[in-house]
Every structure is written in structure tokens, then in C-alpha cells.
Amino acid sequence: MPNTYYITTPAYYVNALPHIGTAYTTLMADTLARFMRLDGRDVVFVSGTDEHGQKVETMANTLGQEPQAYTDEMSQHFRRLCDVLNCDQVRFVRTSEARHKKTVQAFWERLVNAGEIYEGAYKGWYSVRDEAFYNEDELVDGMAPTGTEVAWIEEPCFFFRLSKWRDRLVEFYNENRDAIQPNYRFNEVLSFLSGDVHDLCVSRSTFKWGVPVPGHKDHVVYVWVDALPYYLTALGYIEGDARFQDYWRESHHLIGKDILRFHTVYWPAMLMAIGLEPPRQVFAHGWWTNEGKKISKSAGNTIDPFEAVESYGADQIRYFMAREVAFGRDADYSIVALTRRINSDLANDYGNLCQRVLSFVEKHMGGKCLAELDDLTPEDIKIQTQSQELLMKVREAAEAKALQKMAEHIWDLIGEANRYIDAQAPWSLRKTDFKRMEVVLTMLVDVIRHVAVLSQPIVPHAAAKLLDALSIAKELRTFEHLQKSLHRHNQGALVRAPGSLFPRIDSSK
């Protein structure tokens, strides 16, 4: 069976510029995609923009622009963000692309042919901000449960027989406990499914900006039924791509906790209705606050990811967001915490270690790490074992999407290496026992090699610089080469100081 991995971000709405929440999902997805690629898997990583619907149409109208021209321009910011965040090999899909519209219409027709769609009229509450329908009993003080405004709408529409799939979904989730992650989200979905599940309105007929319902030009497909199949468009499902099933079997959707129901109820039900398996896993992450406050456009406290990268660097933001919080939980974006992570974890612990060790080797050993490692002390063996076990530990964390753990394992080894260097004091050994000094430094360079190779998914830019300094060829940077000895890995080439990997932030500013 092919060793595939299909990882996705939501298709982001283009009614506003990218914010830290959109950057977060994209970054975590890229980190996992990079990890799996380096671990020898055949990865497809998809991100994109959700361009239809009432919310986007309203925004374009407000700005006096045609929706298409507006989305053409807005979508570029999201695409550019992928580059700015240093994402690798993103397959970027726009929902206004012709191939996607074809997918949505074919998806719709399959639902119709399966007898899953019927005509009716919707009468009830709708939140344009959420692009979601709400039952009367879900409202809280006249607002949506998410706190957004709702309006009463009455319009002809088509319904999807969602209620019919309720029991099948419950059964599916009871048999596939890890299909919803983290575990604590599972109950949330099951509790929704244990209530009254109504059929879902899947078309709108009071505005035009959407994919026309086949055979009913006065309806456009409801924006979620338009957006969700973007996960299929990206794999060439409608075109009958021969590899579709290989990837779909290993499909992992990363989303924010607010869009859990769309992904774990509506989406799998529609997939089952046309004879497809639900996604392999939906992982819902938490929300970021800004210095402890809820982020909102109206409060004017949104965080611009372009500015964040410009000020601190992409590696730094990537590391901070992965490390700061257990993936799944809410987190706080605080400049003090960010600065501390950069100065302490990155500049001091990681950067200084590498610079200290490698410049020492360059200066006093001519860049050669040729010491025989056969007469080792218990301290040597301890750190050597820890480096050799690092891949296994980080892999286990990556498989579980425990991004914080991935970083913790790597930084534990970095911490160990810093303690080892202080305890072994190679600068003193230089005068007393040059041979032992060479062993200690060779050990340390080997630890750095493990750290460099395994930190590529998190801090790709710095790791590449470090691997260059270790003279490890580009094609030898995948995990399978880690088991070689350092000398075989870099083919005996010289190592040199990497220079500054992570500049310190002046926290007084």
C-alpha cells in the first residue's frame, strides 16, 4: 500500500486579509507535511481560499467591486502568505476556479442521483458571518451561539437528507475513535448527534455569488457545500485521478474548533451519501488570543502574519506557535512570551550551542570530526542514545499531531547537549587531553546533526543553514540517512561555523 499522507487546511474566506488564525493552521499543516515528506511519505498538502457566498459578495458590494475581481485580488494574499511562512509544495486551490465549480456540480449531481436532495423552503435563522443556519433553540440572547448576529430568512431551497445519516455517523465514530481529534472534541460531536439532527439547507436563492445548482439557475450551492468538496478538487476526484483513493485513505483535515460540526457531521454525511469514506481524521485546534484578549476586527486587535514574519522571522513564528501550546488547546500570542522563546530557546539554547561547537571544531580541529567513538563514558553513551532515540520520539509525536511535543523532544536534546558541553568543558580539555576533546566535540557535532535534521519541519530556514554548515548534501537530509554515522552522512567533508542562526530580540524595545 502506498505510504501516502494527505493534509489540508480550511479554504480561507476572502472577505478579510489573512490573520494569525489562518497563518496558524497553515503553519502546523506545513510542519506536519514537511515531517512526513522527510520521513519518506508521499505527501499532498492543500490550502486555498473559499471565495463564494453571501459574506464575500456583501464585502465586494460594500467596496463597490465585482466579486470575481475582488476575490482574484484577495486570494493572492493567502497564496503569498504560504510563501512568506516558508511553506513547502502547497497545492493551492481557489473555489472560484473552473475545475472546482465542476467538482461541486458533479458532487451535487451525485447527491441528487442518490436521492439525497429534495426541494423545499427554509424558514429560520442565518448568520452571514458564520455562513451557518441555526435552530431557534441554539440562539443565545438572540445571537448565534458563536456570538455573531443572526437574521431571519425565508427562501426556497434544496435540502440534504442529513437526518438520515445520523445513526451511521454515530456508528462510524464509535468504530473510529481517532477520526476526531483531540479526544475531547469527540464528545462534542457525539452530543450534537444525539440531539435533533435536521436536514440541511444546501442552496441559497436570494443572491448570486456562488456555484449555480445544476438545472436550477435561480439557486446557488450553499457555501459550505461548495467549500468542503475543495478537498476533493485538489485530488482530481471528479477527473477520476487514479491516485485519488491512495491519498483519500490517509486524509487529515486540520481545522479550527469553530468549524468542527461542518467537518465532522455535514461533510462525512455527504461523503457517505455518495459512497465515499469520511476523512481519516479531523483535528480541531484551539484559538489564539492577543495578549489575553479575544481577537476581533471590531476590537481592532487582529495580528497581521506578514508583519509578524517581517519583525521576527518565519522560523521564529513557526517555532513559537508550535511550541507555545499543546496543539488543540487555546493559546495566547504575547510579545513577552514570543521574545522569550526566541531569545532563550532559539538564540541561546539552539543557536549558541551550534555556533559554539561548530566554530570550536572549525578552529581547533580543522573542521574534521574523525575521532573514534569506541572508548565512551556513561555521559557520552547517555547523550548518544538520546540522539539516536530522537527520531522515534518525534515521529510518534508527529503521527499524533502533537506539534508541541515534537518541539519539546528536540529541545530536550538541545538542553542535554548544553549541559554536556558545560560538564565536559572541551575548552579545558584542549590543554589537558586533546584526544578526549576530539571525542567530546565529535559527540556534540553528532547531536547537532540529529537536531538539525529533525528540526527541519519546524525551523526549515535555520536547519538548512546548519545542514549546510555540517556539509550534508541536500539529497541526504531525509530521516533515513540519520542512522548513518556522521562521517558517512556528510561523506567526510569538513564542518564549519553556521553563523548566527537566530538573532536575539532586544526586549527593551
Q: Which residues bind ligand MSP (CB under 6 A)?
A: 10-13, 21-22, 24-25, 50, 227-228, 230, 255-256, 258-259, 287-288, 295
Asked if omega into 10 is within 30° of 0 (cis), the reply is no
Nearer to ligand MSP, 181 or 343 (CB): 181
CB of 22 to ligand MSP, least distance (A): 5
Nearer to ligand MSP, 101 or 393 (CB): 101
CA distances from 367 to 314, 358, 467, 470, 497 (A): 30, 8, 14, 9, 9
CB of 63 to ligand MSP, least distance (A): 18
3-state percent helix, strand, coil for the chain, nearest multiple of 5: 50, 15, 30
Nearer to ligand MSP, 284 or 470 (CB): 284
Phi, psi dihedral angles at 419 (to 5 degrees): -70, -40
Phi, psi dihedral angles at 142 (to 5 degrees): 75, 10
3 state SS of 94: strand
CB of 168 to ligand MSP, least distance (A): 21
CB of 198 to ligand MSP, least distance (A): 21
Nearer to ligand MSP, 253 or 489 (CB): 253
Nearer to ligand MSP, 288 or 502 (CB): 288
- Residue pair 465/499 in contact (Cβ under 8 Å)? The answer is yes
- Give Cβ neighbours of residue 184 (< 8 Å, ≥ 6 apart): 328
- Give Cβ neighbours of residue 350 (< 8 Å, ≥ 6 apart): 411, 414, 451, 455, 462, 501, 502
CB of 498 to ligand MSP, least distance (A): 33
What whole-number distance in Å separates Cα of residue 85 and Cα of residue 26?
A: 8
Bridge partners of 125, per DSSP, are 134, 152
CB of 288 to ligand MSP, least distance (A): 4
CB of 54 to ligand MSP, least distance (A): 12
State the SS3 of 233-294.
HCCCCCCCCCCHHHHHCCEEEEEEHHHHHHHHHHHHHHHHHCCCCCCCEEEEECCEEECCEE
What is the DSSP code (8-state) at residue 130? T
Nearer to ligand MSP, 50 or 57 (CB): 50
Q: From start to end of 20-115, where are the E strands?
A: 42-50, 90-94
CB of 25 to ligand MSP, least distance (A): 6
Nearer to ligand MSP, 223 or 495 (CB): 223
Nearest residue to ligand MSP on Cβ basis: 256
Nearer to ligand MSP, 11 or 397 (CB): 11
- Residue pair 130/148 in contact (Cβ under 8 Å)? The answer is yes
287: nearest Cα among 344, 245, 331 = 331
Nearer to ligand MSP, 24 or 159 (CB): 24
CB of 417 to ligand MSP, least distance (A): 33
